[in-house]
Structure 1
């Protein structure tokens, strides 16, 4: 073989080697996390994708949140991928992993279990994806943002309303799911108001129990147990949401006490507002979830773009002080239904009053 051919072969080999090395380096260059200052997953010519991992879609409240959030994100020119686990912790983690693997820009999570969903935050961060906790706080995780209502204030509004009706008496508290951080905040708010009255001897809480998984049947059993344990001698009921309030009212109705004892709920579900009109539920707490959904959507898109979300408060989740945006809830009863829930279009006059004439 001539020296010319040997040199040509060597040059060809070197060119192939350079191509091979360059090709091997490309994946390593692409391993920059999506949401680090170095790189964003969203470019000027690609649509931002927001993952929405939801606890459940088995309640009216959460169907409304999904629809409002999706519409708000789409108005901002982004896309939403929604998955709901319907109360299954393992399923929620699997679904969140699916969204992470699909390469969403930001993951928004409504946690079923405040502790278990910390794993979702960890997995998302490994891929450079930031996580927003929606309405319910994820505990013990390096959470990026928490967007919710002031849930302690929700409980305070409930207790203030009921103590106006029953300043002295025997109270029952039907809590939410022990695994839901919001349930703890609601309860804390209630006791912020009740505790001074308990200390004075004006109020006695004769029954206080969590409702496992927020299931209405469990709330019903709690209410039945509270009535039986106290020989049906109770004066007021505060329930952690409207679904648990409905179950409590069913048990009260079976005992001939529906419409006699004041009952508080929260979420402003249509059935609850109809009960307020009928007089079987005293009040609810209206959380304008259109405002929550729109706020969360705007902040998720901002975060995907690497912009400052402007969180002005911090909530301790057991690991860090989480940057938070907390909105104000509104107490609603028969006196202000029209100027709150109906005026906002949250429910229509026809649906609320069901053809009944206002007194």
Structure 2
């Protein structure tokens, strides 16, 4: 081998060595990392749009956080419009598209199990969002839903005061296919049982406000309006229908809710609803997005992201993160929904509610 050839080989070797050093640096890794993130495909499956939270808050917050963590990631969005069958079809579509992770808020936690099984068999991870689906779910984020019911029950008792023992209440527990509704109900009963008489109690399929309105009208007819001292409503959508029925009967009694919907905040201001339970959407959405990106990148979820383990209806143990809900009444609207950025004072205090806003210190 000539001296010139040996020199050329040495230069080439040095170049290779130099290249290997560069490619192990953070700068050189950015290109393949970026390409890897662009390959991330996440399916976001939400249950319905009658409850304003999903389109107004959950969807944009989740999408925003995913893009923050994994710029260029693809998010395929589906809304099941309250149909369990539609949601099963949407899971099939997401799998066919090649989504690597599904963020799933189940319409029906039981019937969706076959879809969760199918995703698991395909190596697709499932993050249960807000509602705990059955099947081999990889992680779960929600609020302490039994605590929600406890807070609602306590608020109702506090509002009833001495009337708790002198009349009856009506309970509207929400959709029987939503596992959260069972938790709300159990939490509320743990506080209310033995302290107040429950005259009528209803499940309301699909959380339909119109059904709640009809149920409340039926309860008023059956029990008599003078015998009803309060109403437990598991969420604000039901409370809207219930409030209309109460007004039609010339009644104004304590009424609970949940989700901190704008119309519920306005009802609270004018005394048509007593409280709502706020479950700040952004923390829940951010955690779900973080779980999804970590799982899409093949990472194990850190303990601080999933500090708990829960068991779903099919007996699977699921790593979980359960956040703490907050009661909102007329006295703390400014320090809760306004401070957290759910709504501005201008959004709440339209001309109809202007005077009530002044009285509540919302100016």
User: For the superposition of Structure 1 and Structure 2, which TM-score range results when normalised by the shorter chain?
Assistant: 0.7 to 0.9
Q: Aligned Cα RMSD in Å?
A: 1.4
| 1:353 paired residue among 349, 352, 357 | 349
Q: Which secondary structure state, in structure 1, belongs to the residue aligned with residue 103 of structure 2?
A: strand
| 1:191 paired residue among 189, 193, 196 | 189
Q: Which secondary structure state, in structure 2, belongs to the residue aligned with residue 280 of structure 1?
A: coil
| 2:247 paired residue among 239, 247, 253 | 253
Residue matched to 2:16? none
Residue matched to 2:59? 66
| 1:243 paired residue among 219, 229, 237 | 237
Q: Distance in 1 between matches of 2:76 and 2:36?
A: 20
Q: Which secondary structure state, in structure 2, belongs to the residue aligned with residue 166 of structure 1?
A: helix
Q: Distance in 1 between matches of 2:40 and 2:261?
A: 32
User: Is there any run of 5+ residues in structure 1 with no aligned partner, and where?
Assistant: 1-41
Q: Distance in 2 between matches of 1:88 and 1:344?
A: 31
CA displacement 1:123-168 (0-9 Å, x = unmatched): 10111001011001113x1111111111111111111111111142
Q: Does 1:297 align with 2:289?
A: yes
Residue matched to 1:205? 198
Moved over 4 A (4+): none
| 1:288 paired residue among 280, 286, 290 | 280
Residue 59 of structure 1: CA displacement? Answer: 2.7
More helix by share: 2
Residue matched to 1:228? 221
Q: Distance in 2 between matches of 1:143 and 1:323?
A: 9
Tell whether the 8 Å contact from 2:46 to 2:80 is kept in structure 1 after alignment: yes
Residue matched to 1:121? 116
Q: Distance in 1 between matches of 2:323 and 2:42?
A: 22
User: Is there any run of 5+ residues in structure 2 with no aligned partner, and where?
Assistant: 1-33
Q: Distance in 2 between matches of 1:62 and 1:306?
A: 28
Tell whether the 8 Å contact from 1:277 to 1:353 is kept in structure 2 after alignment: no
Residues 94 and 165 (structure 1), Cα distance of their counterparts in 2 relative to 1, 3 Å cut: same
Q: Which secondary structure state, in structure 2, belongs to the residue aligned with residue 154 of structure 1?
A: helix
| 2:92 paired residue among 93, 97, 105 | 97
Residue 43 of structure 1: CA displacement? Answer: 6.8
Aligned length: 310
Q: Distance in 1 between matches of 2:277 and 2:112?
A: 27
| 2:320 paired residue among 321, 324, 341 | 324
| 2:47 paired residue among 38, 51, 55 | 55
Tell me the TM-score normalized by structure 1: 0.83
Q: Which secondary structure state, in structure 2, belongs to the residue aligned with residue 171 of structure 1?
A: strand
Q: Which secondary structure state, in structure 1, belongs to the residue aligned with residue 330 of structure 2?
A: coil
Residue matched to 1:11? none
Tell whether the 8 Å contact from 2:139 to 2:291 is kept in structure 1 after alignment: no
Q: Distance in 2 between matches of 1:111 and 1:250?
A: 29
Residue matched to 1:154? 148
Tell whether the 8 Å contact from 2:127 to 2:139 is kept in structure 1 after alignment: yes
Q: Which secondary structure state, in structure 2, belongs to the residue aligned with residue 56 of structure 1?
A: coil
Residue 173 of structure 1: CA displacement? Answer: 0.6
Tell me the TM-score normalized by structure 2: 0.83
| 1:84 paired residue among 79, 102, 114 | 79
Tell whether the 8 Å contact from 2:169 to 2:231 is kept in structure 1 after alignment: yes
